Amino acid sequence: MSGKEVLDICLAGLVHVAVPLQVAGETVAVVLAGNVALRPLTEEAVAQLARKAGIEPSP
């Protein structure tokens, strides 16, 4: 996927983005951002993710 932006949403619902910066058609850098929640995670959603990962959520 060289030269194209990438947006991925992981199983936890977090967004990860990579955007190439090009000068005269050549990629000179890539801007990365990630682990961003597009909406607040509820306590129950976090507990479910913990259980899926084999982690017992604290009471």
Residue 29 lies in a domain: yes
* Predicted local confidence at residue 28, as pLDDT: 95
Distance CA 40, CA 8 (A): 18
Considering its fold, how many domains does the chain have in total?
1
* Predicted local confidence at residue 20, as pLDDT: 96
Phi, psi of 15 (to 5 degrees): -100, 140
Residue 1 lies in a domain: no
Residue 39: domain span: 6-52
Contact 19, 31 (CB under 8 A): yes
pLDDT in tens, 26-46: 999 999 999 999 888 899 988
Residue 47 lies in a domain: yes
